[in-house]
Structure 1
Amino acid sequence: MIQLKTLLVDDEYSAVEGLRIRLEAFPEINVIGSAASVDEAIALLNKVDVDLIFLDIEMPSKSGFELIKHFQPESCPAVIFVTAFHQHAVQAFEVRALDYLLKPVKLARLAEAIERVVTTEKLHRKTALIEAHQSLVNNDPQEVGVTGNSEYKFEAENLVIQDAKNPIQIIPFKDILWIDAAGDYMCVHTPAETHVMRARLKELEKNTLPEGFLRIHKSTIVNLSHIKQLNPLRNSEYMAVLQSGKTLKVSRTYSKNLKSLFKQ
């Protein structure tokens, strides 16, 4: 059975506790924490990975939509908005929310939303990565290599990826532009290819990437040698522009460290 690590974000304590009690009826849901604000949620998300967020919209200081901006689009958890206001529905689905529940939430609607998330997660685990990168093959002249249940290791100046069904992939560290998380997988981007391997960002960090690689986001590591410039955003965040023209968001948690390196 799929069990989704779930975060509840709402500034109303009674709403959080009421939803937590209702979610106890669903074995697919594992509530790992709650937050009363966007900043509190971001602090928690910097420490743990989650699969699903039940998210209020109108909260003091920052709205629920501000939390969505914390994530790289390809690594955003599933989001179900839970709000007392119907007028935000269009915007919610524009940011790819899986559902939009109005308070007070009826149990039948909650069950429907969870079923949608579980179905989406199953499809994601089975096919989404393969289809996404196959789409790149069809629409981009660059070749994209996909590696499934792979093993990897660091060898001299290379990252080596291998599994039983594909040729061994030897990727020079100097050619890696950035690495980002996609659930249980990692996407290793080079100028010519994107390699997908089964691993987590924390695992790569434990293996110690060579000097010159830096984490700039909860879900992203970048090769510093490929950064062309840093463009400031709001709230002490930046957009890193690579030599290739690709842009990557630098979250506030990691921006100070990155900025200090460019000042040296």
Structure 2
Amino acid sequence: MQPIKTLLVDDEFSAIEGLRIRLAQFPAIEIIGEATSVNEALAFINKCMPDLIFLDIEMPGQSGFELVKALQPETYPAIIFVTAYHQHAIRAFEVRAVDYLLKPIKMARLQESVARVEENIALKSSKATMLATRESMNSPTLAHKVMNDSCAVPTEGYYVDKEKLVIQDGRSPTALVPFTDVFWVDAAGDYMCVHTCSDTYVMRARLKNLLHDTLPDEFVQIHKSTIVNLRHIQQLEALRNSEFNVQLANGKMLKASRTYSKELKAAILNKKRI
């Protein structure tokens, strides 16, 4: 494989330098430029056309999503978002990001991301070769068969393996998340963000199906779009209108709406009796 020409985009020089140091351990990565703003990054992209962009989201002036909007489809590089905020994860995958890394970046997660990029680039190369073969052979039927046999992508979604949630998002490697490690889950349409103490995983699923058919009884719905793991609730703070602030063991604060507060209190009391 040819070196992966890589651009680093972040408004903080220290973040760029830290990422540069980590990426030095990956022989396939060739850092060809750095940028601290969207405009600077676009000027570089138009000139050098990188294969991969490590992209911060919240930057002064314009966000990383605005950079993605400005990219041309025919030259669309692989995008790995790097941010301190988990709440942008669903939107990131909706714009076809390869991965979503939370700062500070763990080396194991960075290895996974680079592996995904390598696989994506190899897949694109394989497709290009097959298209060229189809043209030369003038046999669309044969090319279609080769594409189906060689470029199968795992089905998006999830399944359960004993005490783990196995998340498949069409990329590799698949994430195996023990139920005990899940703090809470929040939903946006057909996507779920599964939060552990330090990581966030995005998968395609329905909250109703996840709650009733997949997650064990220790998971309780506290809002129309939020499920929480009872084992990680540290305390409840009563609010007006029979609502609660739910504080988790990692410091995260969630709101329990009036509709689900009674069920939440009953579940906590029942867990204490057990």
TM-score by length of 1: 0.49
Q: Which has the larger radius of gyration?
A: 2
Q: Higher RCO, 1 or 2 (CA under 8 Å, sep at least 6)?
A: 1
TM-score computed with the length of structure 2 as normaliser:
0.48
